[in-house]
Amino acid sequence: MQEPIIGRRYLHFKGKEYGVEEIARDCENPERKLVIYKQLYESKTPIGTSWIRSLDDFMGDKEFKEDTTVGKQFFKKGEKVKRFVLIPE
């Protein structure tokens, strides 16, 4: 599976930006890669808060289990979108 580019910004499907910090490995399962990334916006948690997600989740799709509105975007049940997309430089 393709890995995100360390140091680059990615747009989450909900419209928020994150910066990829590092690719880590799970100590219990070294084959499992994890993406460490930071939020680049202010919210309930401060700018720079670190998050971790499996590589598969980060690079994979989000499938909606029901009709959903996210911001101004409407998604139908079963629709798939990329969870994170690389923001061009």
pLDDT by 10s per residue, the chain, length 89: 799 999 999 999 999 999 999 999 999 999 999 999 999 999 999 999 999 999 999 999 999 999 999 888 999 999 999 999 999 98
Look at residue 72 in the predicted model and tell me its pLDDT.
Answer: 87
In a domain, 3, yes or no: no
Look at residue 71 in the predicted model and tell me its pLDDT.
Answer: 85
Domains of the chain: total: 1
Look at residue 1 in the predicted model and tell me its pLDDT.
Answer: 78
Domain enclosing residue 49, as ranges? 9-86
In a domain, 2, yes or no: no
Are the CB atoms for 21 and 50 separated by under 8 Å? yes
In a domain, 4, yes or no: no
Look at residue 9 in the predicted model and tell me its pLDDT.
Answer: 98
